[in-house]
Structure 1
Amino acid sequence: MTPRRPALTTCIAVLLAFVSSLALAAPPANDTLRIGSKRFTESYILAQVLAQTAVPHTPTPPSVLQGLGNTAIVYEALRSGSIDIYPEYVGTISLEILKNKTPMTLQAMNTALAPLGLGLAVPLGFNDGYALAMREDNAQRLGITSLSDLAKHPALKLGLSNEFIGRADGWKGLAQQYGAAQVPVALDHGLAYDAIAQKQVDVIDIYTTDAKIGHLGLRVLADDKAYFPRYDAVLLYRLDVPQRFPKAWAALQKLEGSINETAMIAMNARAELKGVAFDVIARDHITAKAGGTSAAAGTGTDAGERGFWAKLFGPDLARLTRQHLALTLISVGGAALLGIPLAVWVFPHPRLRALVLGATSLLQTVPSLALLAMLISVLGLIGTVPALIALMLYALLPIMRNTVTGLGEVSSGLRLAGQALGMTPAQRMREVELPLALPTIIAGVRTAMSIAIGTATIAAFIGAGGYGERIVTGLALNDRQLLLAGALPATVLALLSEALFEVLERALQRRRA
């Protein structure tokens, strides 16, 4: 089998060159302002406010990477240069990012951030703090008005977001401060409001500008021991932004003090209660500040409100389809380029074959989000490249296993016949074994494609786009229609893939007949 090794080396080299070219092409041009956001309603909206404020003053439209995840992921994206700026909160910067045990002044934070090439500026004008809340009827029945009162009721069930449970300024410190003995369960922030409304949990963590606090009639518990710091909204940015985008930076500075708590709650309400798109909300806010009119955020009909069909066939459908197709086809193609030659190479060596297949099987056990987090840390990148590598690794197992299985099904008689005709091992593999194993190999690629189409939705968690972008946003908003608008196209794409492979397999059967 040694004659096959140069071909394997060539395939791997081509694949690595391809991935490297993607890595170099992944970041937008240097004249594009890259704006990030976390994965909750307010951050989505603020990112759009920044983009629409900057767009008249930039040579190319800003690139908005929405819903990148929790603080750790978005901050790493900023540190690595994958984004240039994103909305953050002073309490988070001082306690979570800079790991200071007590809140810091803006000047002290800037001094600590400067060696990292970062800075904060432009206080937007509102405080969006953490708090705990419970149903009003339950709080009234138990006589709970403060966090000290809550600590006296250890039987209450707490449903807290993963980030709040793990933050330096989150549950662990709060429980110590108040002597609370409850053991919380982890809930996505967007789903927590449904959980408390359906009485599945008694207490949730909230942001004080959340629209659903009043909508669901929740009681916000007083922080009577002043555990939580202020979380005034600011812009966290790379220090080269003012030099690279002087006009856009001047425009962004005018946002200082432009959004108060009432305005932010109203914008969040339009997104969460009306289903209005984030860019529409941002545009209306900017228009209102400029002296125009804005859509109402309270009761009644909202001009920006969208139904299911508008969400399903929204203007982003073509872009998300292109992204999802690219993620799927490139990752499965890369897995085939690597996996088929590797399987051919290890097939004659049982121990090596078992070792390689075992390693690819082990990759399947790594949770997708954990794999993405590791790749972000290793590559120093977010977006397309780590998503492609993760999807390619997940696609390896079905392709390699089916290649080995297909080769194993070739009868020894046919191999001996090839040998009797004077074929070299490489010729026998190319002319006899691989053609006979081809249907089984294609079945493996078919399985890998189905897996990739479904798994590609996780790419949206790190800004790589695809239908998962709608699913991630739908989770953040607890918007079932938007979730379905992301899941349905992915299902249709998977069905189309199955139909195409079915046609291909029938064509191969006719040729063999």
Structure 2
Amino acid sequence: MMCRYIFPLWLVCNSIAIPAYAQDKPIRVGAKHFNEGYILSEMIALILEDGGYTVERKFNLGGTAVSFEALRTEAIDVYPEYTGTLAMEILKQDRSLTMGQIQEMLQEKFKLAISEPYGFNNTYALVMTKAMANKLQMNAISDLVNYPQLKAGISYEFLERNDGWKHLAAHYHLHQEPVGLEHGLAYQALREQTIHITDAYSTDGEIARYDLKVLDDDEHFFPEYKAVSFYRASLPAKAKSLLAKLTGTITDTAMQRMNAQALFNHKSHREIAQQFLIAAKLINNSPIDARNDWQVLQKAGVHIKLTLLALIAAIVVALPLGIYLYRYAWLAKAVLYITGILQTIPSIALLALMIPLAGIGMMPAVIALFLYALLPILRNTMIGLFTVDPMLKKVAVAMGMNTRNRLRYVEIPLAMPMILAGIRTAAVINIGTATLAAFIGAGGLGEYIVTGLALNNTSMILTGAMPAALLAIVFELVFEAIELIVIPKHLRQKIG
């Protein structure tokens, strides 16, 4: 009998132990959730595919911390990164490093490597409208010292980075108190004058489009941010050679133009990358992928799968646990405190914490959603059982029912309206939270929302948000139907 379990386990362990890339093993390409990251990651993917590799795209990853953790834990194999970010954010250096130093430290500390630069320098910058800059006669970051009243809206990642706002403000002695904004939305706030300053990437397409002024980094705070391929050292030599094709091929102007095409011409990131690579003769002239009209339904299917897997797992765990705690009430408070603490962890933080444990993709997302679903199901199960009329419990005892029969025939049926309400609440919470699973490559409708935020594209955001809202309504209707079947009429009237 034991062989039935040991042999499959041996096969799994044996497959994990193979370090080399098999011929048909896909290379997993990651992408940070911003416009340029998508384009560069598509270039990496297309070059590898042109070279004969199968590629899995793990896009819409969170910022640097999530993407790097995914690479470090082997959840992805390569993604585009910047030398300044590598030096200051990943290697935690307070000075600029040469390419050789970065290579050496990455290999020594993480067994990771980088390619030669693509050619352009996408440095951080502070921008404001030219009208405001001309009015205040501002040309450089140091000029901000004279205008502490100006409102700054800064992207969340830039607020906390070693090369971000805190250290920049200390270096330049700035006194503005910034608010955190999603990078794509900051430009809209700038145009509407709800903020006066924001951080930018120097190759952002919005800079020219919105006629913005890039303030000169006159005290040279920012290091160079040369784009490179950041990959595992164990990547096949052929794959590294293919990625080297990008060396020195992209200028600052070309990158800014490609970013603008995605933002304002509404071209797909794959189409933009493919057209550039074909024009530069880096890949063969293959047809551009046609738009998949069924894509929304496919992503909705993934969204439903994430929600249901987590919900079913939570029911299987929380329902019997709630019944157990009802019988052993002295444990109840401690368990509820623990599940309550899980509920207070911010969704993005919990998803990021899952990466070292389960990598990226569907598994960590399901685990995180499962943890969020525990509290409402567990709490409602216990409350439903504890609030059953004591007189009815006494009647059941007087009728000679033992503990198990009382639970089965009296207490659980009477508690069922409350139990179903908890499951229903957990389902709706999971549908909303599952949109954030896109940040760790789990897919679903959140991909539209994340990409739409990066492009400041309201239509794309609604493409993800509206079906998610519709799914929540569908789940509500499904649970209403279940209540009609499961709950006796007199109890439905009582809770109605």
TM-score normalised to structure 1 length: 0.85
Question: Could you say which residue in structure 2 is the equivalent of 1:170?
Answer: 164
Shift of residue 224, structure 1, vs aligned partner: 1.5
The residue that corresponds to 1:198 in the other structure is 192
Q: Indicate conservation of the 8 Å contact 1:32/1:58, yes or no.
A: no
* Residue identity opposite 1:382 in structure 2: I
Number of residue equivalences: 469
Alignment correspondent of 1:93: 86
Aligned partners of 1:359, 1:239: CA distance in 2, in Å? 40
Give how far 1:328 is off: 0.2
The percentage of aligned residue pairs carrying the same residue is: 43
**Contact persistence 2:50–2:283 (CA under 8 A):** no
Matched, 1:495 2:473: yes
Residue pair 2:35, 2:455 contacting (<8 A) in 1 also: yes
Aligned to 1:123: 117
SS in structure 2 of the partner of residue 501 of structure 1: helix
Q: Residues of 2 paired with 1:167 and 1:271: CA distance?
A: 27
Cα gap change, 1:380/1:94 in structure 2, threshold over 3 Å: closer, same or farther? farther
Residue in 2 that maps onto 1:349 = 328
Q: 1:11: which partner in 2?
A: none
> How many angstroms does 1:504 deviate by?
1.5
- The equivalent of 2:262 in structure 1 is 271
Corresponding position of 1:284: 275
Letter in 1 for 2:171: Q
Question: What residue is the counterpart of 1:334 in the other structure?
Answer: 313
> How far apart are residue 375 of structure 1 and its match?
3.0
Task: Give the residue type in structure 1 aligned to 2:339.
Answer: T
Secondary structure of the residue that 2:267 maps to in structure 1? coil
**Aligned partner letter, 2:249:** S
- Distance in 2, Cα, partners of 1:131 & 1:54: 32
Which position in structure 2 is the counterpart of 1:368? 347
User: What is aligned with 1:227?
Assistant: 221
Report the secondary structure of 1:65's partner residue: strand
Aligned match for 1:471, one of 434, 449, 462: 449
What's the counterpart of residue 250 of structure 1? 241
Match of 2:47 in 1: 53
Structure-2 residue corresponding to 1:112 = 105
2:420 to 442, 456, 470: 442
**1:416 to 1:279, Cα distance in 2 relative to 1, 3 A:** same
Specify every segment of 5 or more residues in structure 2 that has no aligned partner in the other structure, as ranges: 1-8, 492-496
How far apart are 1:488 and its partner, in Å?
0.8
AA aligned opposite 2:275: D
In structure 2, what is the Cα distance between the partners aligned to 1:188 and 1:252? 30
**Cα deviations by residue, 1:27-84 (Å, 9 ceiling, x for unpaired):** xx96110111112100011111111111133453x11111211111111111000110
Question: Which stretch of structure 1 is more off in the superposition, 333-342 or 443-452?
Answer: 443-452
Note the alpha carbon deviations across 1:218-237, whole angstroms, 9 max, x for none: 11111122221111111111
Aligned to 1:358: 337
Are the equivalent residues in 1 in contact too, given 2:303–2:445 (CA < 8 A)?
yes
* Letter of the structure 2 residue corresponding to residue 180 of structure 1: L
Shift of 1:483: 0.5
Residue number in structure 2 paired with 1:186: 180
Q: Does the residue aligned with 1:234 lie in a helix, a strand or coil?
A: strand
Q: Quick check: 2:29–2:79 contact (8 Å CA) kept in 1?
A: yes
Cα contact 1:344–1:403 (8 A) shared by 2: yes
How many angstroms apart in 2 are the aligned matches of 1:467 and 1:174? 36
- CA 1:41/1:289 → structure 2, altered by over 3 Å: closer, same or farther? same
Shift of 1:331: 0.7
Which string of whole-angstrom CA distances, capped at 9 and with x for unpartnered residues, describes residues 334-370 of structure 1?
1101100110001133332233223323332222122
Q: For residues 336 and 220 of structure 2, what CA distance do their matches in structure 1 show?
A: 55
2:375 maps to 397
2:438 maps to what in 1? 460
- Distance verdict in 2 for CA 1:413–1:147, change over 3 Å: closer
Q: Which amino acid aligns with 2:404?
A: A
Other structure's SS at 2:79 match: strand
**Which whole-Å deviations, capped at 9, do the CAs of 1:175-213 have from their partners, x for residues lacking one?**
233222222222111111001100111111110100010
Task: Evaluate the alpha carbon distance shift between residue 292 and residue 234 of structure 1 in structure 2; reply closer, same or farther with a 3 A threshold.
Answer: closer
Contact 1:80/1:380, CA 8 A, preserved across alignment: no
- Whether the aligned pair in 2 keeps the contact of 1:158 and 1:202 (CA below 8 Å) is yes
